[in-house]
Amino acid sequence: MAQILLVEDNHHNRELFKATLRHYGHEVLVACDGEMGLAMVHEQRPDLVVLDLSLPKIDGWTVARRIREDNDARVAALPILALTAHAMRGDRERALEAGCDDYLAKPVSPRELGRRVGKLMADASAA
């Protein structure tokens, strides 16, 4: 079981993703904005971050870059799965350049979310 930090500002999506991740056996921590998400990365030390890219206070693009630039090697290496409802051409590449390991456009199927999180966790364990 992994501890996953879900950074999502939309209540409906937050509840859906939280239930899905718990269904797959993960412990879920929740942050409602980018500022809180960054603080929780340091305070809670999750195994993976599921990160909405459109967040209040600090957007997900900036959160991902700050995680990757962190002085703590464990924080900088955290797997990050980016989510966005406003998928535009080039967003996937932009998310990867910002430091995300994978990217999903909303709406996200529960099965696909579980599959992507499982793959990222397996890749992190192998590294």
The pLDDT mean for the chain works out to 94
Helices (H), the chain: 11-23, 34-44, 60-68, 73-76, 91-98, 110-126
Q: What total of structural domains would you count in the chain?
A: 1
Q: State the CATH number of the domain containing residue 100.
A: 3.40.50.2300
Residue in 79, 77, 86, 78 with CA at minimum distance from that of residue 59: 86
The whole-number pLDDT of residue 125 equals: 86
The whole-number pLDDT of residue 92 equals: 87
| Residue range(s) defining the domain that contains residue 70 | 3-126
| 47-92 pLDDT, tens digit each | 999 999 999 999 999 999 999 999 999 999 999 999 988 777 888 8
